[in-house]
Every structure is written in C-alpha cells, then in structure tokens.
Structure 1
Amino acid sequence: MLLYFTVKNWKSFKGEATLNMLAGRERSHFETLAKLPNYQLKVLPISAIYGANAAGKSNLIKAVEFLQNLILDPKKGLLNSEGLSFKLNSETREEPSEFEIQLCIKDVVYTYSISFSHEGIKSECLKKYDSKQRNQTVFIRNNLEIDGDDKVKKLVTKDSINVFLKLLRDDNYTLLSLFSTLPDIKPVYDWFQSNLKVITPTALAIGNNDFIDFDGTGFDTGVVGVKTVQFKEELPPHLKSLCRNLQEGQSMVFRDSNVGSLNITNNDGNLVATKILAVHKDENGEEVLFPFSEESDGSIRLFDLSPAFRSLNQSTDHTVFIDELDRSLHTTLSRYLVEMFLDSCDENTRKQLIFTTHDVQLIDQSLFRRDELWICQRNRDNSTTLYPINDFKELRADKDIRKSYLQGRVGGIPRLSASCAIQSNSFSIFGKGNEMPQSGN
C-alpha cells in the first residue's frame, strides 16, 4: 500500500513534491480508510488530482511509471537518453532527479529512494521498519559503492563484485532488481511487479487476458462481450519487441492502430496472437462481431480500464494509477467507477486508486474527503507545485469545493487572458481571418 511518493527535479517538478496518502484528522468517509493499527495510521484509498492543462498532472503519473520500468526492465536503457530533470533552470538542468516512495507491505513499512541522471544511477537506498519501530537499512548505494545488511554483504563478494559493478555501471540496473530475491527486498520488488498498475492514455499494453470477461452491457455501450479469432498475419516488429519479456504461458493485450486489439501469448517460445472483437447483437438477437477500431472512444476506454477495475474490486492490495480517468467517458460513468471502488473499501482493504482528471463533477464532498483531492499548479517559472485541497483551512466540510475550484480560489485552473488569441496577419487559433469571439458581458 502506498504511503507517499515524492518527486524532485523531474520534468516539470523543480522542487520537491509529495503525494501523501496518509489520512488527515477530518472525520468524513472514515469507513473507507485503511487502518494500520500497529503504526496508528490511517491510509487513503483514493486520490483525485486536478489541474490546468500542462500543469504537470501527467508528469506525476509518468514518474511512477518510469520508476516501475527502471526497476523491472532496466534493459530498456531508460537512462541512456537526454536528461529528465527540470530544464528551465540552469542549475537543476545539471542535477540528478530524485524519487522516494514509502510502502506498507504485510504490515512492514519500506522506504525506497533513488537519484539518477542520463549518465546513470547516482544513489539508491532501501530502509525497512517493522511494527516495533525498528529501523533497518537493507542496502545503500552511492554511485558504485555498495553497503547493506548481512545478506547483502554476503552476496557482494570479491568473486561477484565485478559482475555487479558491470550491471550497475553499464546497464543501469538498480540494486532493488539485482537483489530482488533477498527476503527483505523481494516484497518491494514484487509490489512493483504485481501490485502496481499504471494506465496512461497512450499506453499500448492494456492488460492481460482478463479482458475476456469484459461486458459493456451495464455501461450502455452496445457491447455485450468480446470474442477472439486467430490472427494469421505476421506480428509487427514493435509488438514482437514489446512481448520479448513474456514468460512461458503469459499473455498480454495490445491495441495497435493498424492491426487492432490483439491478445499475444508466449506458447513454448512462440508468440501466438488472437484478434479481439467486440460482440453486438442484431435485431434478431444474433451476435455480430466488430473490430474495436469501429467502436467509440468511450467503449475502448472502458475496455482499457476494465481489467484494472476488476482487479481493484476483487483484490485487496493493488495500487492503480490512471492518467485521465475521465478521458472519453461521460461524467456519470466516471462517478460510477469511483463509487463502485469506494463501496468496496474498508479498514481491512489495502487497495488504492489514484488518478488525474478534469471532471469537475467529481469534486464533491459526498464522494471525496478534502485530503483526497489534490491540485497541480503551474508556477510562473513553469514548474509544478502539488498540494491537497485541505491545505485551504477555509474550505469547511459544508463548503461547495467545486465552486471554489472553478472560481480559482484553490488554483489548478488555466490563467486565461485576451493574449491567448495568438494571431498574426495570416493566422489565428480561431481560424484563418477570424477574430477572437466577443463576450456578451
């Protein structure tokens, strides 16, 4: 379960910003909070992040996804590219990016921190706390120097050190991935591998074969199910590359603009693909199959989100990040998905839903606590600040927070002016030869 995630000097985040999932003192929606009695903590099951376009909301989700990929798939060479630090400042441009994440896994708290630049990983540390408040440094790394507990020291011998140094230096492996089988490290690695799910609007991979249970009937989409047929064409090279880490018997679902939605399985080392089709019924009740390329954006978005929400509603320990939850969805659908999730949360569940959105209809204290609503604000220097709405003490429990947000009292909305009508003699954003529409006031 995520307790907090901190990012510094990453893309639009210049200074330190923290998404804190620990509950504050307010009493609303107390029944949905997860209780950690041994630490006397209560943890939020949900957070909704608002902000203007280009305020940095997506960069926060991308940071989580980047960290996950850095740990699970270092062979992607994520650091062998241009730096990802805040580029609009001459000092931060040359400094490393920093992430820190704190998790509670089976009543043990872990804090993992890492700093890196395009040159490689600079430092890394994993600490462990148990319910008796005992603090243990599992490992610590500064550049290529490694230290840690007895289990780590036992692995880093004179015979093995050269192999480790090569992987750390040349391939940008994290210690978390190199030592992922050690008892004190495995729970954290497994959380990134199995319990964390990140869904972005442009993500090509959209889940595993849980899709087979997709039923859009309750969402009034016209889709009553899905079916698969054999895909007889050659798989495009980029899909083969994305499937290179599939283990024997594992499946992944991909949506490609040219070939449609495919379910690809590793079968004895061979990639076997089936095409996923949407099932409709005609006036006689007979099934008619449609490629998903002919479905509405809303139906496709529901198909993308379906495996994540199924895992959230069936399990007790998944953390799901979704960028643009409301993309192509009617506000009633977005609210239904959120309500369905919250209805399944109680003090014993350890699942979480964290998402960005522009849907102001969700800003409702009958749905959210004030510490579950967050704002991304773009500053004058184009850096991002992240803060919860409950920082504004005047927003009481009986206050119309939606109205306050739309009025700009808590930030996170576009700063519009007449200058947005950028135009020259030959071009205007309102169309060639047109002028900015005039207000009726």
Structure 2
Amino acid sequence: MAASTFRQISTRNLRKLRSRPVSEISGALGDLGTFLPIAIALTVNGTISLSSTLIFSGFFNILTGLFFGIPLPVQPMKAIAAVAIARSFSNGEIAAAGIFVAACILVFSVTGILRWFSDVIPIPVVKGIQLGAGLSLIIASAGKLIASLGWIHPSWADNLIWAIVAFLFLVITNAYRTIPYALIVFAVGLVFAIIVTAQSGSLPSLTFWRPYVTVPLGSDWKTGAVGAGIGQLPLTTLNSVIAVVHLAADLLPGVKTPSITSIGLSVAGMNLFGCWFGAMPVCHGSGGLAAQYRFGARSGSSIILLGIVKMIVGLFFGESLVDLLKRFPSALLGVMVIAAGLELASVGESLNTTGARDLAGKGPGIIGDSEQAIGPILTDYERKKRWTVMIVTVGLLVGFKNDAIGFLAGMLCHWSYQLPGLFTKIRERLTYGRLRV
C-alpha cells in the first residue's frame, strides 16, 4: 500500500471518529451477536483458547481498520465452527481446518483465481448470496437464541419480554438512526450479565495470557481439513471475499472499495498466523459488515477501537471471562443478530436499479421523484429474469443452509436463460458454414 493511500485512510478514520464518536463505538459492537456465541461455545468445548482468540482477532481488527479504512469485521468461520462444535474438535483439528482454508485462499488470491471468479459471477447471484445470508441470520437467531426463551425464563435478565423490548427499540431506531442502538443494548446486557455472574460468585479475575503453540498432527489434518475445511471454502470464497467486496461498494460508495485479492490475502494471513496459537479461525463476512454499518460504523476507526479493547481483555482476563459471557442475555444478542440480518437482506432491493454494479452508469434511466436516475430501463422480461436468478439462489441457500448449493442453483438458473441465445448462435454458425460450402 502506498504511503499516500495509508495517510488518506488514517485521516478519514480520525475525521469520522472525531465527528461521530458514539456512532463509531456503537457500530463496533454490531457483530458481537455472531462472534460471542460461537467463541463461547468453542471455548467451553476446549476447542480454542478464548485469550488467543480475543488477542489475535483484536490485532486483526486493528490491522483491518488501518489498511482498509472501512468497518470490515473479523468474525468466525461459521462452517468450521458448526462442525467443530458438533464434533467437539481438538485444538489441532480446528487449527488444521483454519490453516487449510487459509492456504487455499492464499493460492486463489495470488494466482488471480479469486478475481476471475468474481468477474464471472453475475450480480443477481451475488445479491442472492447476500440476501440469503441475511435471511439465514434472522432464521438462526429466531430459531436458536430467541425461540428457546420463555416469558420469564431462563431468568429475570433473559426472557421474551426483554427480546420484545429490544426489538421495539430496534424498530424505533430505524427512524432515528443516530441513536446508538448496539452500544445501549450491549451496555444493558453487560450490566445484566455482571449482576447474574456476581450472584453466582464467578466474576472474571486477573488472568494473564499464556501463549502456546498448536501444531496439528496427521490425524488432525484429515479430520479438520476434510471434515470442516472443505465445507468452509465456498462460504469463505463467496460470502467472506466476493460478497463482502460488493457489499462494501453498496454501503460505502464514497469510499475506495478493497480489491478481491486484498481481501483474500487478508483472510489467508489472519489464519496462517493466528490458528497456530489456538485462536479461532476467522474471516471477513458480509453479515458482520452489514451489522456494523447498521449500528453506526462508517470507518476503520470503529473496529480499531474494538480491536484494542479485545486485546486488552484477552491479555489480562482471558479464560476467566467465559462465565460472564455465557450469561450475556440471549434475548439481546438475538435481536442484534436479527438487525444484522435485516440490514444485509436489504441490499437485494437494488437488484434492478443503479445500486447493482452491472447496471451502474448505464443510461438512459428511470427518473424518480427527486429527478435522479434510479435505474436503467430494463424490459419486464429482464427484470423478472434477474429477480428469478436471485430468488433461486436465496431459496436453495436458505433451504439447504449451504452457500455452495445456493450458488450452484443460481448459476444454473442464470445459464438456463443464456441457452436460447447460445442455440441461436450455434444455428447461425451452422447455417453460415453451409452457405460457405
């Protein structure tokens, strides 16, 4: 990165932090609804070190904010985490899974495969992946975090009443976006967790980080790479690299969008370094970016602040935080995840307007009430075709809970619309050949 570019990013980070500090702090907390439950579950299973995860993910947060200048999240690799939790992976097995995915993404990045892949994927499929990921977050939150709650259970601090209050507050902040929703909800949840933890006598204590090295053995590579790593690859490629670059361009049009290659190298570097020390495999995800944007983050300063806090907490408290974090109200976390899902799903609205990259700048356009072009003129057939491709991608992704299946279904649908044109070209070529004879 050129020195001038780095200075521009740093200047913008500082300017945003000074002009809207509360919003940047609130936005930094937007992705905790995904990060905390997975990190806690893996820690309780003995699969990762919470201290190492906080320290390394915090360090990566700081680097991401400094070099990209946008609220790009550092979040768990969900496919790996799901398998690791279900099968109680060892330290070596989850490290092997993360290192395997990182090595593959590194190869894809330096060879240009990622960039080529991004160029050939149609925008309706990309939008479908984003919309599907948003709906998946909402469904997962409603089905796992909130559905298990009762009206007064499991405790006075965590129940359906608090979930409803948090959701109503979220609805209000849709009209008043300057209210730091995530900051307020997180502060309330933290107070509740501290009170409940204090009642049980297990408050965090000063516990310095003791680093150790995790070296995967032969069997670890087989279980981790084959059992979890292969399933993570399409998710990382599609949602953590390609979709996140498109989303950054949609949400922050006035900011330079990171390249596909740079995001790929970032994902690879984080895991080729952190996984050897017991840290959770991480990536950048469109869901986390949408969440942090929804709650106010507009620059890299938000995640730099988050990274500093995570590193301090990891260095001095680490594993002693597990009991406290386990008692953070699911009702509040669940609504934060729903908000992130809604923000991510909303990008599908721009499919047939100039908000879609492949339509931007194509005129003439349809003129809206504000005398601005809101989209190129498309026939009803073209609009329906693009919408169908997106919905097929969404439907199969959500139905099978698998990004790869959704992606393949969307691509097959897209290619099916190309068949008439392909047959016409073949027929013309055959006819032309006969005429020459």
Pick the TM interval, shorter chain.
under 0.3
Higher relative contact order (CA 8 A, sep 6+): 2
Higher strand share: 1
